[in-house]
A and B are shown apart, each in its own frame.
Chain A
Amino acid sequence: MKTTLKKNALGCLLVAALLLFNSNCTSQSAGLPNQTLIKAYYTAFEKKDWNMLKSLLADGFTFTSPNDDHIDVNVYKERCWPNSANIKRFDIDKLMINGDEAFVTYNGWTTSGKLFRNTEYFKFKDGKIKENVCYFGPGISYPNNTAK
């Protein structure tokens, strides 16, 4: 009886430990598709590939920045997409994914070598990007920047 209890207790401990680790791993792996989405979002700008970008956006996608108040995909294409022609590269500097939302800080370079650094907040839904809010850091996005 005592031995059975001992065995059961140890089994329970092991199960508990495995559960703890498993839940930890699950929450991390849940971020992977969203991480892929984010990387693809910036790659689409680098490749000037509108179809690729559009395929990542959910129905009802909105974009917000100090210059744009929840604009839809059509206005986004008109106002923001032309910037892709001047983009050489994005380097993701910080990335934090929390379930279906994420923060990204990137360094971007224009084709003429100018640097801009922004933070973007993403919301995801069913494996697509539902919302993107851009917060301006130092660089050319900042309207009064003398380095423009």
Chain B
Amino acid sequence: MKNTLKKIAPGCLFAITLLLLTINCSAQSGKEANEKTVRAVYTAYEKKDWNLLKSLFADGFNFNSPNDDHIDIVEYKKRCWPNAYNIKSFQIDKLVVDGDNAFVLYHGWTLDGKEMENTEYFTLKDGKIKEFTCFFGPGISFPNNTKK
């Protein structure tokens, strides 16, 4: 009995170790995939590539901001996408991913050199963006900003 336990124990330890490593790796790869998806949103705006942006969105996607209350992809394309043509570049200052959620803090510049700073909160599902919400910081997104 004791001998059997001795034989089984190392095997169990090995299996547990492999399992732990696998869990860790898959969580890590999911995190990296989500990070890549979120970053691609800003690339799509810089490149004015609607097809790229659309490919990142899950079915039932919706968007929120102080100006937009759970708008769907059709409304989003109509109301928000035209902004892409005024965007020169984005700089992602902070990107924190926790499972299927992410916070992003970015600076953006328009073609005529105006600056904005916002945060966005993303919810992902199966590697695609299910929802994101934009919170306005200083800059042109802020409606009363005198630098507009």
- A residues with CB within 8 A of B: 6, 10, 13-14, 16-17, 20-21, 24, 64-66, 69, 94, 96, 98, 101, 103, 105, 118-119, 121, 133, 135-139, 142-145
Sorting the interface of chain B by its residue count into under 10, 10 to 19, 20 to 34 or 35 or more gives 20 to 34
12 residue pairs A–B, Cβ–Cβ below 8 Å: A10-B14, A13-B14, A66-B138, A98-B96, A103-B119, A105-B135, A119-B119, A135-B136, A137-B135, A138-B66, A139-B66, A143-B143
Q: A133 touching B137 by the CB < 8 A rule? A: yes
* Interface SS majority for chain B: strand
Whether, in the assembled complex, B118 has its beta carbon less than 8 Å from a beta carbon of chain A, the answer is: yes
Q: A96 touching B96 by the CB < 8 A rule? A: yes
- Residues in A whose Cβ lies below 8 Å from that of B1: none
A137 touching B20 in the complex, CB below 8 Å, given contacts A119-B103, A119-B121 = no
- Residues in A whose Cβ lies below 8 Å from that of B24: 20, 24
* Interface SS majority for chain A: strand
The distance from the CB of A21 to the nearest CB of chain B, in whole angstroms, is: 7
Total A-B pairs, Cβ < 8 A: 88
Q: B135 touching A69 by the CB < 8 A rule? A: no
Q: B94 touching A136 by the CB < 8 A rule? A: no
Which residue in A24, A103, A145 is a CB contact (below 8 Å) of B103?
A: A103
Q: How far is the CA of A6 from the CA of B13 in the complex (A)?
A: 12
Q: B119 touching A17 by the CB < 8 A rule? A: no
Shortest 9 CB-CB contacts between residues of A and residues of B? A135-B135, A103-B103, A119-B135, A66-B142, A142-B66, A17-B17, A135-B119, A135-B137, A13-B17
Q: B136 touching A66 by the CB < 8 A rule? A: yes
Whether, in the assembled complex, B98 has its beta carbon less than 8 Å from a beta carbon of chain A, the answer is: yes
Chain B residue, CB-CB nearest to A121: B105
A137 touching B138 in the complex, CB below 8 Å, given contacts A13-B13, A20-B24 = no
Which residue in A96, A121, A145 is a CB contact (below 8 Å) of B101?
A: A96
- Residues in B whose Cβ lies below 8 Å from that of A135: 118-119, 135-137
Chain B 47-71 interface mask (CB, 8 Å, partner A; 1/0): 0000000000000000011100100
Which residue in B13, B94, B136 is a CB contact (below 8 Å) of A14?
A: B13
Chain B residue, CB-CB nearest to A93: B121
Whether, in the assembled complex, B21 has its beta carbon less than 8 Å from a beta carbon of chain A, the answer is: yes
- Residues in B whose Cβ lies below 8 Å from that of A105: 121, 135
Chain B residue, CB-CB nearest to A10: B10
Q: How far is the CA of A69 from the CA of B64 in the complex (A)?
A: 25
